Structure 1
């Protein structure tokens, strides 16, 4: 039986390679039918913001990678309610549907997966 994995993405899409690396790991795991979830926490919630213009920062757009997640079987997307609120983001402004979790639900989520990787 495959172990389940939760990937926690904590970096903004323009803060370096970490956001892309988290998505690449999720896509690779999904391609191999690894049971996994992806949690956007802290500045990682900015990855879900719609209407980004990374070209202005000379960065690559991650939206294609995000849109491909369900195609690779990565359907468990989670986002921290507190992180959204602290950054002034509304759930309606997200490019992908993600389950909002409060701090208590986040703790339960961490316990649900065999492996937890923070990027």
Structure 2
């Protein structure tokens, strides 16, 4: 039986390679049918913002990777409600907003957690 994995992405898409690496891990896990979830926390919620200009900061656009999550069977996509509110972002349709208490309970349900 496969162990479940939660990947927590805490970095903005333009702050370095961590955001892309988190998505790559999740997509690879989905390709192998692992029970996997993705949580956007802190500045990681900026990955969910629409209308980003990745070229302006000389980065690759991650929106295509986010859109591919469901194609790889990744349905457990979450965002920290507090992080969204702090950064003035609306709750995205691509991620389920969770409270801090819900996040703690969710983390406990996964066998392994990776934070990037």
Q: How does the TM-score come out when normalised to structure 1?
A: 0.95
Task: Give the corresponding residue for 2:114.
Answer: 117
Residue aligned with 2:59, SS: coil
Task: Give the corresponding residue for 2:59.
Answer: 59
Q: Would you say 1:89 and 2:89 are equivalent positions?
A: yes
Tell me by how many angstroms 1:97 deviates: 1.9
Task: Give the corresponding residue for 2:20.
Answer: 20
Task: Give the corresponding residue for 2:8.
Answer: 8
Q: Would you say 1:104 and 2:94 are equivalent positions?
A: no
Residue aligned with 1:8, SS: strand
Superposed counterparts of 1:66-81, under 5 Å = 66-81=66-81
RMSD: 0.7
Tell me by how many angstroms 1:13 deviates: 0.1
Tell me by how many angstroms 1:46 deviates: 0.2
What is the aligned length? 116
Counterpart Cα distance in 2 of 1:104 and 1:60 = 33
| Residue deviations 1:7-51 (CA, integer Å, cap 9, x gap) | 000000000000000000000000000000000000000000011
- Long gaps (5+) in structure 2: none
- Long gaps (5+) in structure 1: none
Residue aligned with 2:108, SS: helix
Counterpart Cα distance in 2 of 1:44 and 1:36 = 17
Q: How does the TM-score come out when normalised to structure 2?
A: 0.98
